[in-house]
C-alpha cells in the first residue's frame, strides 16, 4: 500500500509543501539571513555580520521589554493556572448550574485580542479615572496589571476546560478506594487528583507560557506600549522597531531582535516541557 500512496505525492504532499515553503520555510530562512544585514528595502541589502545583534542588547527599550515580558509571563502563568485549576475542581463537584458557569468562563476566549484590549481599556480607564489615578496611557503599573487581568479573563476559561477534562479522566475507583482508606478531601486533592492531572498541567503551563510570552494584539490595543514604550512587550517592541522607527539600520536590528525572541521561545518551551514531564505519573 505504501508504494501506491507514495506515487501520489504530487496530490497529497505538494500543495501543503508549496504553501508551507511560501508561508513559513522561505520567510524563516530569509529572516535569519537578513538579521545579519543592513537593509531598508529588500533590494538594498548589505551584509554587516553580527553588528545587529550587538545593537539589540544595547537597545534599552528591548532590555526593558524583555524584563517586562518575563515578569508578565511568570505572573500570568501562575495566576491563570492556579485560578483555572481551582475553578475546575469546584466545577467537577456536580453543583447546580455547572454548564452555564463553564459556558460563561470560556466565552471571552472567542473574542479577538484587539477587541478585548479596547473593551478593557474602556473599563480600566473608567475605574482609574474614578479613583483619581492616571489613565493607562500614563501609568506603567496599571498597564501591567491591566494586561494581567485581561489575559486572565481571556485564558482562564480555556485552561479550565482542559483541567476539567483532565479531572474527569481521574478514575472514580481510585478516589473511592482512597475514601475507604480514610483519606481527607485535601489528601485526595493533593495526593491523587493533582498528580493524575499532571499531563493537563504540562499542557496548560506550556500554552499560558507561550501565549503570554508571545502576546501582541492585547498589548497593542490595551496600552499600545504607552507611556513611552514602558509597557511594551517583546513582540510589540519588535513590531515597533520594524515599522515605527525611521532610519536605515532599524529593520536589520528588528530582524535580529526577532531571531533572539524566537530563540527565547524555543528555550522556554524546552525547559518547561522537560520540567513538568518528569512530574507526570501513570495510573
Partner 1 sequence: MAVVNMEKKQESKRTRIINMILSVVFALICLVYIYPIFLIVTNSLKIESAISTNTAFKLPTADTFAGIANYIYGVTKMDFLSSFLYSLFITVSSVVLIILCCSMCAWYISRVNTLASKAMYYLCIFSMVVPFQMVMFTLAKTADTLKLNTPFNICIIYLGFGAGLAVFMFTGFMKSMPLEIEEAAMIDGCSPIQMFFRVVMPITKPTTISTAILETMWVWNDYLLPTLVLDIKKYRTIPMDIQYFRGSYGSVQMAPMMACIVITIIPVILLYLFCQKYIIEGVVAGAVKG
**What separation in angstroms does the CA of 42 have from each of 3, 30, 129?**
43, 11, 46
**Nearest CA to 268 among 214, 200, 195?**
214
Give the one residue of 55, 70, 101, 276 binding partner 1; rule: CB under 8 A.
Answer: 101
Number of residues binding to partner 1, judged by CB under 8 A: 95
Please tell me whether residue 280 binds partner 1 under the rule CB under 8 A. no
53 binds partner 1 (CB under 8 A): no
Quote the least distance from Cβ 166 to partner 1, whole Å: 9
Query: Binding to partner 1 by residue 282, rule CB under 8 A?
Result: no
Cell numbers at 263, concatenated = 530563540
Grid coordinates given for 46: 548589505
Contact between 112 and partner 1 by CB under 8 A: the answer reads yes
Phi, then psi, of 133 in degrees rounded to 5: -105, 160
- What is the distance between the alpha carbons of residues 122 and 1, in angstroms, rounded to a whole number? 60
Give phi and psi for 44, each to the nearest 5.
-115, 85
**Footprint on residues 181-240 left by partner 1 (CB under 8 A):** 199-200, 203-204, 206-207, 210, 214, 216-217, 220-221, 224, 234-235, 238-239
Measured CA to CA, the distance from residue 276 to residue 194 in angstroms comes to 12
From 56, 161, 167, 253, residue interacting with partner 1 (rule: CB under 8 A): 161
Q: Under rule CB under 8 A, which residues in 167-186 are in contact with partner 1?
A: none
Instruction: For strands 45-47 and 37-39, give the pairing.
Output: antiparallel
| Per-residue contact flags (x/-) with partner 1 for residues 8 to 47, judged by CB under 8 A | xx-xxx-xxx-xxxxxxxxxx-xx--x-------x-----
Amino acid at each position: 500500500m505504501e508504494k501506491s500512496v507514495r506515487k501520489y505525492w504530487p496530490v497529497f504532499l505538494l500543495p501543503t509543501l508549496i504553501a508551507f515553503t511560501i508561508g513559513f520555510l522561505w520567510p524563516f530562512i530569509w529572516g535569519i539571513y537578513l538579521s545579519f544585514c543592513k537593509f531598508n528595502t529588500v533590494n538594498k541589502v548589505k551584509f554587516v555580520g553580527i553588528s545587529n545583534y550587538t545593537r539589540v542588547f544595547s537597545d534599552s527599550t528591548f532590555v526593558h521589554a524583555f524584563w517586562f515580558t518575563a515578569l508578565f509571563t511568570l505572573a500570568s502563568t501562575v495566576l491563570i493556572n492556579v485560578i483555572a485549576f481551582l475553578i475546575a475542581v469546584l466545577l467537577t463537584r456536580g453543583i447546580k448550574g455547572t454548564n452555564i458557569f463553564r459556558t460563561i468562563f470560556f466565552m471571552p476566549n472567542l473574542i479577538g485580542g484587539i477587541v478585548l484590549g479596547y473593551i478593557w481599556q474602556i473599563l480600566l480607564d473608567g475605574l482609574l479615572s474614578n479613583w483619581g489615578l492616571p489613565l493607562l496611557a500614563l501609568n506603567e503599573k496599571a498597564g501591567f496589571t491591566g494586561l494581567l487581568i485581561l489575559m486572565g479573563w481571556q485564558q482562564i476559561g480555556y485552561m479550565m476546560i482542559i483541567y476539567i477534562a483532565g479531572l474527569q479522566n481521574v478514575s472514580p475507583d481510585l478516589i473511592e478506594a482512597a475514601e475507604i482508606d480514610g483519606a481527607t478531601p485535601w489528601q485526595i486533592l493533593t495526593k491523587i487528583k493533582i498528580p493524575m492531572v499532571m499531563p493537563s498541567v504540562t499542557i496548560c503551563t506550556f500554552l499560558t507560557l507561550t501565549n503570554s510570552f508571545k502576546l501582541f494584539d492585547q498589548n497593542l490595543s490595551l496600552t499600545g506600549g504607552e507611556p513611552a514604550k514602558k509597557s511594551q512587550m517583546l513582540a510589540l517592541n519588535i513590531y515597533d522597531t520594524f515599522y515605527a522607527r525611521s532610519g536605515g539600520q532599524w529593520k536589520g536590528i528588528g530582524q535580529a531582535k526577532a531571531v533572539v525572541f524566537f530563540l527565547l521561545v524555543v528555550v522556554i518551551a524546552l525547559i518547561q516541557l522537560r520540567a513538568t514531564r518528569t512530574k507526570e505519573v501513570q495510573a
